[in-house]
Structure 1
């Protein structure tokens, strides 16, 4: 009898150990997300408020957190707007694909977010009406009532077939944004910029020249900086078209809207044409093109009292495309929580007249070139 009880107790003990072992193994099974949390509207607001407080001396209020999505319908980040005395005063964009989250930002008065820009163009009042999609490193779009994508780059595009057709297996995760659980705090390490920000919007060039090309626009801003032109409505058409010709810009096939002719330019040919343009006006410049530029590339240029262009390559649903912008400053941020440095350049994007600070190391660029000028 005693032997039977010992055997029975032994079997029960083994069963308990096996059960506990299974339970512990299940509980300790790595999920791959132990160090992540879900980003919420409230967290996005807190991050934005903290970012503004720690990186500039303007008293701003973070409002209106809006999720944005990739072309498969997966939520990947937040756009949060800043206000001061009920006046738009910039924004910050958090992209979960970046280790330090900061994709771009602006703290300028009357500077509106890409989301607000898209809403204005398609008469969408709030995020309830339509989602905003990130189409590439710089461009965002909202679907209008005609199922077209209205973008912050002044274009109306056909919605790609891939839009929300390929999602994650678990529908409950479509709106989830996972970020590192370490709460990031930032401080400014280094900053530099030109004496004043130079930017004329695309609409100004279209209205006064009947043409638009991003490279010509970026170079015209540079010509304004070097005192070769002043953007006067009486002369800008001839000046713009002279730059158009000198840089070898050609009309994009069948690319004309409302009588405006759009052009494309090989970034390799743009510096020589610009140097010639300035030389005709008594300003002697040299130029260089640097592939895969670092932050030091732009810092050295700006700190020497010169201006630069950033030429980027991106893949879109329409294939490979490029965009060129004027670089007029920089800010280096430090993520105090991790020690990482976030390199951002101050650009005039060629579409609007507000400042954009964009992360130089955004992963979706297919190429990066710095076009530097020196007098």
Structure 2
């Protein structure tokens, strides 16, 4: 969720917005999270209602609709607020949390339609479908906005351009693709998810992992299974649970005992490894025993059940999730791509508008230090299996 300065301070600062909006805005970001608040649609509405009398003294101005505006990476950055006067269209405002004063654009006047309405007409023209208002706008740049044409992978824009769909959906979150060709379409930030789903049940183990960049800098190696098993080691006391006390020698020890082999080396000399699953688990258990921790494991075959991970987390334990997709490389060719993550939690929820229920795994993805999320029901993964520890 985008954040803005405190509710009181930005409402008191309305007078300065008029001056700011006259010049090209500079993008800035909040430096102090303790003095910021989530920029919700309710807050955007309050802001617009306070702003409208200042910029236009017309009587009977009302807000008709608020539509989220997303960046192409799927994060909500602001809102389009459509305005009516005496029941007739009277323009719109675009509020953006990254703009000083929040006001990115304001266009008011008789019969002026909001961008969402023009995109609704564009959808109808392009697809032959009955016009429907978009549930989210995609911001491509300062002046061009688009929205997904239902039932397609195309976006139409207010400049009548047709773009391929970026990594957002109508609900504004990275898609759980029907045929995912990149890991960005499978593993997403939890904040993006929480914006659009009512969470019904959750449990997780507080965890901060070791990033790929740190691993590479300290070991000159990286393998997802090794990083996942290092995370398991952090949880079960085989190495420090403090990510700042990363032990490169122990990482290399896991690499060696699991039979991880180098499949490529980059220009900087970093080796990238491949580990056979589940063959590497048995020697890892032996390594743990040598260090004084007897670990039990259970290997889940194809398509492990969500309930199995749920029970594991509820018991205070963690596991691995092994996944493969048909990945598209930079030349456009499709190849099989595997990745292993550490499962540190779960949550279930439903979409507020559709009521569709989803199950999500909270994971340490091996690339970042913070937890991320995977839709457990992501279809057309090539093969799935898992390992849990206790």
Q: Work out the CA distance in 1 between the residues paired with 2:339 and 2:210.
A: 16
The answer to whether the 8 Å contact 2:175/2:185 transfers is: no
The partner residue of 1:289 within 299, 304, 308 is 299
Match of 1:343 among 342, 347, 359: 359
Q: Is 1:241–2:252 an aligned residue pair?
A: yes
SS at match of 1:222: helix
Partner of 2:204: 193
Over 3 Å counting, the alpha-carbon distance change for 1:37 and 1:294 in structure 2 is farther
Q: 1:330 to 1:336 in 2, by over 3 A?
A: same
Which of residues 148, 157, 182 is equivalent to 1:136?
Answer: 182
Shift of 1:32: 9.8
Correspondence 1:75 to 2:165: yes
Shift of 1:301: 0.6
- Work out which of the residue numbers 166, 173, 189 in structure 2 matches 1:93: 173
Using the alignment, how far apart are the partners of 1:96 and 1:324 within structure 2? 18
For residue 342 of structure 2, the aligned residue among 326, 329, 352 is 326
Q: Which has the larger radius of gyration?
A: 1
5 Å-filtered alignment, 1:191-340, equals 191-194=202-205, 196-230=206-240, 236-252=247-263, 254-290=264-300, 291-316=302-327, 317-340=333-356
**Displacement of 1:242:** 1.1
Structure 2 equivalent of residue 83 of structure 1 = none
Q: Take 1:365 and 1:41, find their aligned partners in 2: how far apart are those partners?
A: 28
Alpha-carbon RMSD across the aligned residues, in angstroms, is 3.8
Equivalent-residue separation in structure 2 for 1:299 and 1:36 (angstroms): 42
Q: Deviations over 1:13-52 (max 9, x none)?
A: xxxxxxxxxxxxxxxxxx998699574643x69xxxxxxx
Distance (whole Å) between structure 2 residues aligned to residue 237 and residue 185 of structure 1: 39
Distance 1:39 1:278, change over 3 A: farther
Q: Matched residues in 1 for 2:295 and 2:128: separation?
A: 53
With CA pairs under 8 Å and 6+ residues apart, which has the higher RCO, 1 or 2?
A: 1
Query: Structure 1 pair 32/233, CA: closer, same or farther in 2 (3 Å)?
Result: closer
Task: Give TM-score scaled by structure 1 length.
Answer: 0.54
Provide the aligned length of Structure 1 versus Structure 2: 236
Deviations 1:323-373 (A, max 9, x none): 001110011012344443211111111111122112111124111112111
In the TM superposition, residue 232 of structure 1 has moved relative to its aligned partner by 7.5
Aligned twin of 1:353? 369
Q: How far apart are 1:295 and its partner, in Å?
A: 1.7
Give unpaired runs (5+ residues) of structure 2. 1-125, 155-162, 189-194, 328-332
Alpha-carbon offset, residue 211 of structure 1: 0.7
The answer to whether the Cα contact below 8 Å between 1:67 and 1:76 also exists between their aligned partners in 2 is no
SS at match of 2:230: helix
Cα 1:274–1:333 shift into 2, 3 Å = same
Structure 1: gaps of 5 or more residues:
1-30, 46-63, 81-90, 104-133, 141-151, 153-183
Q: How far is 1:275 from its partner?
A: 1.2
TM score, norm. by length of structure 2: 0.52
